[in-house]
């Protein structure tokens, strides 16, 4: 699977699933990453942070490449 290279957070889809009263999971299809937790907001915010960290890592990779 090729990793996405978009730096636009809106290009990353976040799906949230609830099972029971306190079992939630968020999944980003583009990054094939899942985060589990006990509240909707918890998993949503954690996934948003994960996506933003991924985007920041793309910028660091690009910066490192241009310095070589």
The per-residue pLDDT for range 36-58, each reduced to its tens digit, is 999 999 999 999 999 999 999 99
Q: CB-hemisphere CA count at 13 Å for 44? A: 6
The CA distance from 17 to 10, in Å, is 19
User: Domain residue spans in the chain?
Assistant: 9-61
State yes or no: pLDDT of 7 exceeds 80.
yes
Triad 5, 32, 65: Cα angle to 5° = 30
The CA distance from 45 to 41, in Å, is 6
Q: What pTM was computed for the model?
A: 0.84
Q: What is the pLDDT of residue 63?
A: 56
- Measuring CA to CA, which residue among 55, 8, 56, 11 is closest to residue 29? 11
């Amino acid at each position: 699977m090729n990793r996405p290279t978009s730096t636009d957070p809106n290009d990353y889809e976040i799906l949230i699933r609830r099972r029971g009263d306190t079992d939630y999971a968020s999944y980003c299809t583009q990054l094939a990453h899942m985060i589990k937790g006990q509240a909707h907001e918890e998993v949503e915010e954690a996934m948003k942070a994960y996506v933003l960290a991924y985007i920041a890592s793309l910028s660091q990779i690009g910066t490192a490449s241009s310095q070589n």
